[in-house]
Structure 1
Amino acid sequence: MNTGSLELTLAWDGTQIVAAEINSTRPPVARALRGLPLARVVEVVPRLFSLCRHAQGAAARLALLAVRGEQAGIDARIDLGLNIASEAIAEHLYHLLISWPQICGERFRSNPWKDLSSWRKRLQGIGDQATAAALGAEFSNWLEEIPPPQFDDAAAVNAVSLLSQIGVAEWASHIDRADFSELPTFAGQPAETGVLARHAGDPEVAALLASGRRVRARLLARQAELRWLAQGLVDLPRLATLLDAAAVAEGCGLARVETARGTLLHRIEVDGDRVHRYLIVAPTEWNFHPQGAFVREIVGCPAPTRGDALLTAGRLALSLDPCVPCVWKVDDDA
């Protein structure tokens, strides 16, 4: 399925980026679920996404249970949480081992692809709590060998608030517009979701956040999340907190899953045994909102050359981790 892209246009005056626009060509995949028999929802939803398939599938499963007045038991939520955590670890490692060294011009570890493949296979091979705990302890120690990339990070002139970390019951009152999935807001304002929102309280992350160095803060938050997930492998019930669901109205279920990129929401309304309306609110729609984190932070960034403008924007976009490719354009603002 065509995933679409984010078309990012920067206005550059020769010294700084003075404006930015975002045009998303992501297809409204949730509309394809309307009229679908409920029995096929869990089968179809993961096929619609090339990334975060476990998270998307878990959200669909939980929302469907909720609309039926059912709840997943603790063992089922731990199993779903383990799949989501394994998926998130692989995503975070790809960025730290490959994407960030590449964009920062740093040397790769001896064989980052081999490291990534090895951890993926070992995570997929977890069969019991003892194996998970042993792997979590080993992974936690290994993480200490991964230093964060080093680069200059200009202080953000303007920034959106971090998305509140709330449960699914509280989310029900915030999803109140027909266009919420395309243009989500919290208390009427754009917000940032993801690792920074979840780990802003980490002392090192908080120090960078206080100085406005939000790109570097996101990298440290990504490492803080990897440590948290490693501890989750040691203490599996912790991973059940990554997701929850509830019936929020008659014939309507809502699920929340914390993915590598941020908070994912699935809302399903049913008519008999078929989907009447399906809403998916993905992290990319928060962070690349037309007045969201990317636009607010990139405007005002110094860029003495066109190449600097592209590099600064690329680092910011990578730190916000879109789930689709970005297409760039720089316009001279005379």
Structure 2
Amino acid sequence: MAVSASDTGALSATLAQAMPVAKLVLGKPVEEVVTLIPRVFNLCRGAQEAAAKLAFGLPLDSDVRQRLAQDFIRDHLVRLGLLLPRHFGLPTLPVAQGVVGVLPPQMPETEADFSLYLRQTEGVAPMLRALDAAFQSGEAVADLPYIDDLRVVQANACENSVAARHGTHPVMQHIAETRGRGPLWRVFARMLDLAACSRGEVPAPKRLDDGWVVVPASRGAYAMRACVREGIVTQFERITPTDHMMAAGGIMAQSLASLPAASRHLATLLVDVLDPCSPVTLHGGAKGGGIANA
């Protein structure tokens, strides 16, 4: 994911021009489209493949959830162990060791556990502590309703993220109450998701009404809908976590709006925490761009 920045006034973010997905698939045979979609959107290849198969009425592999878990583990390890520590000048973590190289043997389950963990020197704890110090309470936060079966098929602002899968966890609730739904809340959610995926705990893909299907992804949940006539794709729709994030009043807009001018040097770090799946350009206040590779 490329991030660039320019100083033009109020801080905002825009996405690169979206790929015309419908034009790529309409009029093509189903088998070709099912192969094409995960190749085009290879950042989340497993989720895209599962969504395409389900949307076209094809059977899912029996191990689909295990394969999704492995994709999510890879993405979470890269962000927690490589990308985010670099923002603070911290050593990268041994992600080749898997979850044990990043997470503690037992994830914090209470406020007291979390306070103790923040003082540790192993794994992701130093990065988490630096993140907590970088953003003050109420900075870079977004308070939106969690994704549900109604919101997931509408490209409007909502909390479609990994955090939505873990919002009821006691530590998540503690962070939300003491810091807000900001970077620390989101990164701890990614830790929880990594731990869950290591146990094979991934939400099941499902069918909704009106032809929509929903598949979990490392950034949240994807919705897809398609129509077929005589083996040819005649309609195709796709709504991603980034669509919800970048919607008017969405996670990105609220997070940037609640980032004080004195903290705007943290804007590229914030974008790396939010993790949109497409290139983002920051406008206003964020001096000097950065590059993060998702």
2:34 aligned with 1:42: yes
Q: Distance in 2 between matches of 1:99 and 1:141?
A: 15
- 1:272-311 per-residue CA deviation (whole Å, 9 max, x = no partner) reads 321111111111111122321111121142233xxx41x3
Does the aligned pair in 2 maintain the 1:196–1:217 contact within 8 Å? Answer: yes
Q: Distance in 2 between matches of 1:319 and 1:158?
A: 12
Question: Could you tell me which residue of structure 1 aligns to residue 191 of structure 2?
Answer: 223
Q: Distance in 2 between matches of 1:10 and 1:163?
A: 32
Give the SS at the match of 2:123.
coil
2:277 aligned with 1:323: yes
Give the SS at the match of 2:284.
strand
Q: Distance in 2 between matches of 1:90 and 1:157?
A: 26
Q: Distance in 1 between matches of 2:140 and 2:278?
A: 26
Change in Cα spacing, 1:217 to 1:331, as seen in structure 2 (3 Å) is closer
Change in Cα spacing, 1:277 to 1:7, as seen in structure 2 (3 Å) is farther
- 1:125-156 per-residue CA deviation (whole Å, 9 max, x = no partner) reads xxxxxxxxxxxxxx469621523412321314
Question: Could you tell me which residue of structure 2 aligns to residue 84 of structure 1?
Answer: 68
Q: State the percentage of identical aligned residues.
A: 24
Shift of 1:50: 2.8
Question: Could you tell me which residue of structure 2 aligns to residue 123 of structure 1?
Answer: none
Does the aligned pair in 1 maintain the 2:172–2:188 contact within 8 Å? Answer: yes
Does the aligned pair in 1 maintain the 2:68–2:217 contact within 8 Å? Answer: yes
Q: Distance in 2 between matches of 1:157 and 1:83?
A: 33
Structure 2: give runs of 5+ residues left out of the alignment. Answer: 105-121, 287-294
Shift of 1:161: 1.0
Does the aligned pair in 2 maintain the 1:140–1:227 contact within 8 Å? Answer: no
Change in Cα spacing, 1:23 to 1:95, as seen in structure 2 (3 Å) is closer
Give the SS at the match of 2:261.
coil
2:125 aligned with 1:143: no
Question: Could you tell me which residue of structure 1 aligns to residue 168 of structure 2?
Answer: 201
Runs of 4 or more, structure 1, over 4 Å off, are 5-12, 139-142
Structure number with bigger Rg: 1
Change in Cα spacing, 1:140 to 1:300, as seen in structure 2 (3 Å) is closer
Does the aligned pair in 1 maintain the 2:13–2:252 contact within 8 Å? Answer: no
Aligned length: 262
Q: Distance in 1 between matches of 2:100 and 2:141?
A: 35
Q: Distance in 2 between matches of 1:147 and 1:321?
A: 18
Computed over aligned residues only, the root mean square deviation of the Cα atoms, in angstroms, reads: 2.8
2:266 aligned with 1:293: no
- 1:73-113 per-residue CA deviation (whole Å, 9 max, x = no partner) reads xxx34x1111111001100000011111011222323xx4x
The 5 Å alignment of 1:95-174 reads 95-109=79-93, 112=94, 115-116=95-96, 119=98, 139=99, 143-144=103-104, 145-148=122-125, 149=127, 150-151=130-131, 152-154=134-136, 155-156=138-139, 159-164=142-147, 166=148, 170-171=149-150
Shift of 1:244: 1.5
- TM-score of the aligned structures, taking structure 1 as reference length: 0.70
Does the aligned pair in 1 maintain the 2:16–2:280 contact within 8 Å? Answer: no
Shift of 1:264: 0.6
Give the SS at the match of 1:284.
helix
Does the aligned pair in 2 maintain the 1:6–1:22 contact within 8 Å? Answer: no
Q: Distance in 2 between matches of 1:294 and 1:314?
A: 12
Give the SS at the match of 2:56.
helix
Q: Distance in 1 between matches of 2:266 and 2:35?
A: 40
- TM-score of the aligned structures, taking structure 2 as reference length: 0.78
Question: Could you tell me which residue of structure 2 aligns to residue 15 of structure 1?
Answer: none
2:20 aligned with 1:28: yes
- 1:250-290 per-residue CA deviation (whole Å, 9 max, x = no partner) reads xxx32211111111111111223211111111111111223
Change in Cα spacing, 1:81 to 1:224, as seen in structure 2 (3 Å) is same
Question: Could you tell me which residue of structure 2 aligns to residue 124 of structure 1?
Answer: none
Shift of 1:163: 2.5
2:224 aligned with 1:242: no
Does the aligned pair in 2 maintain the 1:196–1:218 contact within 8 Å? Answer: yes
Question: Could you tell me which residue of structure 2 aligns to residue 136 of structure 1?
Answer: none
Change in Cα spacing, 1:146 to 1:159, as seen in structure 2 (3 Å) is same
Shift of 1:162: 3.7
Question: Could you tell me which residue of structure 1 aligns to residue 113 of structure 2?
Answer: none
2:242 aligned with 1:265: no
Structure 1: give runs of 5+ residues left out of the alignment. Answer: 13-17, 120-138, 233-237
